[in-house]
Structure formats: structure tokens, C-alpha cells
Amino acid sequence: MAGKSTLYDTDFYAWSNQQAALLRAGELNRADLEHIAEEIESIGRAEKRELVSRLTVLLLHLLRWQCQPGGRGSSWQASIRVQRNRLTDHLDDNPSLKPLIPDAIGKAYRDAIVEASVETKLSETIFAPACPWSYQQIMAPDFWPE
């Protein structure tokens, strides 16, 4: 289809509504199945990225809590609690992501160290090279690293 512009290329919103109508009408032969499959896969990848993103924010807050005891306060505590809630909600909505948690923690921790170093003005080398906490600890309401 080189050179041929399609609704998918020119107006994604209109294309998605058109495809939804075709699928609901059972008109699979008229639906753009290849692009529909690509978009579904893309949504799955986005949910996986969201898992890593939420873990990164939570781990960043936990690292700051650990490294900056003078900054601990109710707003930091609330941020950690909110991130735990959002992560729980995300996994409730996408339970098949749960087996990916160990790998996601590794990726998230790598990024959290970079951000924590910038925010705390501490060297990245002071942080453990791998996440020192289990997922259960990270998510425990009474876990506040010292």
C-alpha cells in the first residue's frame, strides 16, 4: 500500500470508530484486521510500560524516604500510599501482568536510582545495584525503609 493513504493513517479516531462499528456489526471481512491486531498489541505493551512506570515512581519515593529522613512527612507518606494504591488498581485491571513483576521491578529500580540521584544530589553508587526490597515489602502498608 505504498503511497496510498488510508483512514488509519489520516484520522485514527475516525478509523477506530469505524472499526468498532464493523466489529459490532459482525462485518469482519470489511474490518482492517491487521491494524486492529497491531493496536491491540500496542495496548498490551502500554499496560506493561504502565506497570514499570508506576513501580518507578513508587521506588523513587521509597528511595527518597530512605535517603532523606529529614524530608519525611505526611505528603511523602501520602505519595507512597497513593502509588501503592494505583499499582494495586493497575494489577487488578491487568492480572496477567503479575508474572512480569520481578522483571518490571528490575527495570523500574534502574530508573528510580537515576531519578533519586538527581533529586537527592547523591551519587548513584550509594544505592544498591539491585532493588533491595521484595514486591511484598514494596507494597506493604507498614513498610517504610530506614
What confidence category does residue 1 fall into, taking pLDDT thresholds of 50, 70 and 90? very low
| Whole-number pLDDT of residue 5 | 61
Kindly report, residue by residue over 104-139, the tens digit of the pLDDT: 999 999 999 999 999 999 999 999 999 999 999 999
How high is the mean pLDDT of the chain? 93
**Mean pLDDT for the stretch of residues 55-73:** 94
Residue of 89, 92, 71, 90 lying closest to 144 (CA atoms): 71
Render 68-87 in DSSP notation, one character per residue.
-GGG-SHHHHHHHHHHHHHH
Q: What cell was used for 7?
A: 483512514
Residue of 87, 81, 1, 80 lying closest to 47 (CA atoms): 87
Task: Show Cβ contacts of residue 122 under 8 Å, excluding neighbours closer than 6 positions.
Answer: 67, 116
Do 106 and 130 meet the contact criterion of CB atoms below 8 Å apart?
Answer: yes
This prediction has a pTM of: 0.84
Separation between Cα atoms, residue 110 and residue 92, nearest integer Å: 25
Residue 60 has pLDDT above 50, yes or no: yes
